[in-house]
Amino acid sequence: MTATMTATRAAVTREDLIDFVHAEARMLDEGRFDDWLALWAPDGMYWMPLEWNQQDPILETSLLYEDQFMLRLRVERLNGARTFSQKPKSRCLHVLNRPDVDLIDNDAGRYTVVTRMTYVETRLDEQFLLAVTATHDLVWQSTDTGGALKIQQKRVDILNCDAAFGNIQLLP
């Protein structure tokens, strides 16, 4: 199956979920941000906690907590011709460990995948490396053609989240 998952909900397997996470990382690495946005549920949230083991993105400060509107703005900026801070453009590479599938609930259409990875971002002579754990909470959404897996929430925990580091231009 592909990252858009056009089969029945009952057919979602561990391998389908792992393939989804790998496909998402590849879209980001290749700069296919519009395709990446299509993976999100309309009310999906991208969360990057500021504190180790942070539990609340609302009442505690986060590095980012972005809804669809903010994600679209970020993608428009990255794709924009007049984004001078991105000339030349930043590039990234996600080096994923094999994802762990923590939840498969085909009856409810809910899935959780946890992936430890190394994230590398580079622009000009600068390159930085982050060790992160990404937790994808996925949901099954029915469509006219069957249905698709969508990202309800993506939580990205940076190992040294409490350290000072430069701007993250792209998306781990």
pLDDT, one tens digit per residue, over 50-104 is 999 999 999 999 999 999 999 999 898 887 777 767 678 889 999 999 999 999 9
CATH number for 9-51+58-158 (one of 3.40.50.720, 3.90.800.10, 3.10.450.50, 3.20.20.70): it is: 3.10.450.50
Question: Does residue 5 register a pLDDT over 50?
Answer: no
For residues 8-16, give the mean pLDDT.
83
Higher-pLDDT residue of 168, 151:
151
Radius of gyration (C-alpha) of the chain in whole angstroms: 16
Tell me the pLDDT tens digit for each residue of 26-43.
999 999 999 999 999 999
Domain ranges across the chain: 9-51+58-158
E strands, the chain, in order: 40-49, 62-66, 91-96, 100-105, 110-123, 126-143, 146-158
Predicted TM-score (pTM) of the model is: 0.89
CA-CA distance, 48 to 134, in Å (whole number)?
9
